[in-house]
Amino acid sequence: MTDSQSKRNIERVEQWYRTLSSDGRLPVDWTAYVTGDLALAFEQAGAGISLRSVYDLRVGCELLARNPAPLFVITLFNGEGDVPLDAATGWGQTELRRIAGGFLLRWSEPLDERAGPLQVRLQAHLQPKHHAVDWTMVVTNTGSPYSVRRVTFPQVELNRFDDDPVVFFPSGPGELKHGAWDEVWRYDQPYGQAWCSMQYMAAYAAGHGASGLYVGVHDPFAGTKDLRAFSDPARHTVTLHYDIPAPDQLRPGNGFRFSGEARWQLLHGDWFDAAQIYKRWCHEHARWWLATPREDIPQWMRTVGVWLQENYETTTSVQAILRFQEYMGVSVAVHWYNWHQIPFDNDYPHYFPAKHGFADVLRELRRKHVTGMPYINGRLWDTHDRGAEDFEFTRVALPAATKDMDGNPIVERYGSIETDGSPVTLAVMCPTTELWQERVREITLKLINDIGADGVYIDQVAAAKPVLCVDPTHSHPAGGGHWWNEGYWDMLDRIRQSLPPGRMLTTECNAEAFIRQFDGYLTWHWQHDNMVPAFQAIYGGAILIFGRAYNGDATAQRMKAGQQFVFGEQIGWFAPRIIDQPDVALFLRSIIHLRQSLVRYFYAGEMLRPPVLDVPVSRVRADWQWYGENWVTTDAVMCGAWALLNEHRMVLLFANVGDIEVRTVLQFNCRDYGITFKAAQLSIHDPEVGATPPEAVGARFQRAMAFAPRSAIAIELVW
């Protein structure tokens, strides 16, 4: 560090102190720590330790709310009621001191005698290079009559630190919330399911280079937890916190150890920059990460042109699919529903025998380059699994079902009806049990080896939340932990080891923990306003993404296809009869052919920051009809960027899903995409006329663009 840098840092800290007190000194009982541009202050007083400042020295911005929520909350349980303890109050002893590489906070001797000899230890590891702090946590509860039931940590309450602050939360591919500080808003989801796919959140200022904070849990085992973000509009604050159920939560004296680390990091950027923080950690530490590009995914799956979904009907299905394939002129994959004789969401898991002729249809279509993927469920067993009769559930499945604290099986209902008119009640099976692991394996391999499926869709694994099973006969801790994922990892690894060459597995939605076990994720639930492709920015090349629910009018369907294209997804998951809608079908065929001409980018490449057009473009809005009315607004021209960096090439993607021409300007600077070159060859790919001859361009250029209505083009750069 130069003398001028050192002087500037001292000035910044002095400026920070002036925001904390009128005399520019650190208040009594306060302790400060600086890690790069991130400054933290704590108050050790009032029988607790409180966080008092989270400050951006570079920007000169206080991020923390005044009198914020406590650093942690611990909930104890004794079978009758809960006892909460928090970091700010109620402790006989506290300690705050510097240690090598960081600092230590310790709480002990709770004033509430019911808590017993509980101790809490937080250790902070400073990361000045990243302007960050990494937290670990240990709760010691030895000898207590209470068990640690849940731990809320980390928790940080942020003030309205900018005129237009934004919250990023990991629903689906990722979503943004504007205006949360000024209205009642709440995001509250269990991690490991459809609407909580990753373990990080962020809040940042919309302006370029302004301040923000990344708040993530870097848990390499992807253990069970809830992610919450909620506002207090009266105080103009937003709180980000993680609520974690403890393992062995019914055992007195169980204690708690944080899995991995929690990270706070200054964010001088936006959702894409936050995704890169998480991506770097995933590459180095996540147990579900695989080297990219994925060589274990069958080549036919990597290059699928379009996805259909179809209910099996022998003659009608084949004719409709082949007619669709002839119109589109690309490879087709079909997701088959109702191929089994049992009703849908009923009598699971007794799928066999298949309906008459299903295996013959799969063979016939494969000869014509149409692959088939039947549906099964990977979680559920019908409690009345032969019509209204309890056939095997109690006798065979009940011991392997998940159980609640009263010993009852945990059940779910989805609207299906038994033969006697009663609702179908489906038990959630425990993935750690040998019975359920072997049953799913048998069904999957029978479909592939005997029926001839090219792959199997195992529903709900990456869509439904982990269940807090407390059955003492199962080989896992009661309640929290990462045993749920490990059970599925074991099951799916055994299935994959038995798969013949060229076969694949997919599942519903996109919980990240199962990426290495599956070849594709069906993201039909990506149907919301203000979505951003953070998931692909992290996992592009690591998993194939396919499928949206194509409800709504023609505009809504073009919006979905355009978004799939720039997000890097395989297009489709619609019925083959969609080609009978000409105002949709022509656009689909055009965008599908363009994607096919660039397909290697999406299975072997990685996502770059989407380009921003220089002139604001118009907006489109449509009802996407996701479980009823669901209005979504996007730019008329959707943008994306993907690269094959080892091959020194990238592509910029544009889809005008609106009904009018859009004229704007593309300002290109290679450094905006994290790459460097002095000169490149540029070609424009238009699905209607092909690719233009290459032309030389520099590392920076601007180009006037005219996007025709209902069209898509790509600009490819090779250097």
Q: What CATH number corresponds to the domain at position 305?
A: 3.20.20.80
Percent of the chain residues topping a pLDDT of 70: 99
Tens of pLDDT, residues 215-255: 999 999 999 999 999 999 999 999 999 999 999 999 999 99
Tens of pLDDT, residues 27-79: 999 999 999 999 999 999 889 999 999 999 999 999 999 999 999 999 999 88
Q: What is the pLDDT of residue 313?
A: 84
- At residue 616 the predicted structure's pLDDT band, cuts being 50, 70 and 90, is confident
Residue of 139, 122, 109 whose CA lies nearest to 47 = 109
Q: What is the pLDDT of residue 114?
A: 87
Tens of pLDDT, residues 295-346: 999 999 999 999 999 999 877 789 999 999 999 999 999 999 999 999 999 9
Whether residue 10 has pLDDT greater than 90: no
The reply to whether 40 and 159 lie within a common domain is yes
Domain presence at residue 525 = yes
Q: Residue with structure tokens 């928090």? A: 86
The reply to whether 617 and 692 lie within a common domain is yes
Domain presence at residue 112 = yes
- At residue 591 the predicted structure's pLDDT band, cuts being 50, 70 and 90, is very high
Q: What is the pLDDT of residue 672?
A: 93
- At residue 22 the predicted structure's pLDDT band, cuts being 50, 70 and 90, is confident
Tens of pLDDT, residues 140-163: 999 999 999 999 999 999 999 999
Residue 383 to residue 377: CA distance in whole angstroms: 15
Residue of 124, 121, 122, 50 whose CA lies nearest to 90 = 50
Whether residue 662 has pLDDT greater than 60: yes
- Among the candidates 567, 584, 600, a domain finishes at 600
- At residue 2 the predicted structure's pLDDT band, cuts being 50, 70 and 90, is low
- At residue 212 the predicted structure's pLDDT band, cuts being 50, 70 and 90, is very high
The reply to whether 259 and 154 lie within a common domain is yes
List the beta strands (DSSP E) in 36-101: 38-44, 49-56, 61-62, 73-77, 82-86, 91-99
Whether residue 279 has pLDDT greater than 70: yes
Beta bridge partners of 606: 643
Mean pLDDT over each residue of the chain, to the nearest integer: 96
Q: What is the pLDDT of residue 104?
A: 98
Domain presence at residue 291 = no
Average pLDDT of the residues in 516-531 = 98
Q: How many domains does the chain have?
A: 3
- At residue 283 the predicted structure's pLDDT band, cuts being 50, 70 and 90, is very high
For 600-655, give the DSSP string: HHHHHSEE-PPP--SS---EEEEE--SSS--EEEEESEEEEEEEEGGGTEEEEEEE
Domain presence at residue 428 = no
Whether residue 1 has pLDDT greater than 60: no
The reply to whether 311 and 280 lie within a common domain is no
The reply to whether 270 and 360 lie within a common domain is no
Percent of the chain residues topping a pLDDT of 90: 94
Q: What is the pLDDT of residue 9?
A: 81
Amino acid of residue 431: P
The reply to whether 618 and 588 lie within a common domain is no
The reply to whether 592 and 615 lie within a common domain is no
The answer to whether the beta carbons of residues 637 and 616 sit under 8 Å apart is no
Domain presence at residue 495 = yes
For the chain, the residue count is: 719
The reply to whether 231 and 84 lie within a common domain is yes
Domain presence at residue 386 = no
Tens of pLDDT, residues 462-511: 999 999 999 999 999 999 999 999 999 999 999 999 999 999 999 999 99
Return the percent helix, strand and coil in the chain, to nearest 5. 25, 35, 40
Higher-scoring residue by pLDDT: 429, 207: 429
Domain assignment of residue 172, given as a range: 33-285
- Among the candidates 285, 313, 346, a domain finishes at 285
The reply to whether 39 and 128 lie within a common domain is yes
The reply to whether 495 and 634 lie within a common domain is no
Q: What CATH number corresponds to the domain at position 274?
A: 2.70.98.60
Q: Residue with structure tokens 């009345």? A: 384
Report the Cα 674 to chain-centroid distance in Å. Answer: 23
Q: What is the pLDDT of residue 208?
A: 66
Tens of pLDDT, residues 86-118: 999 999 999 999 999 999 999 999 999 888 899
Domain presence at residue 8 = no
The reply to whether 159 and 257 lie within a common domain is yes
Domain presence at residue 3 = no
Q: Output the pTM of the full model.
A: 0.97
Tens of pLDDT, residues 384-417: 999 999 999 999 999 999 999 999 999 999 999 9
Whether residue 256 has pLDDT greater than 80: yes
Average pLDDT of the residues in 626-637 = 96
The reply to whether 224 and 325 lie within a common domain is no
- Among the candidates 600, 626, 660, a domain finishes at 600
Tens of pLDDT, residues 441-470: 999 999 999 999 999 999 999 999 999 999
Average pLDDT of the residues in 653-676 = 95
Q: What is the pLDDT of residue 5?
A: 64
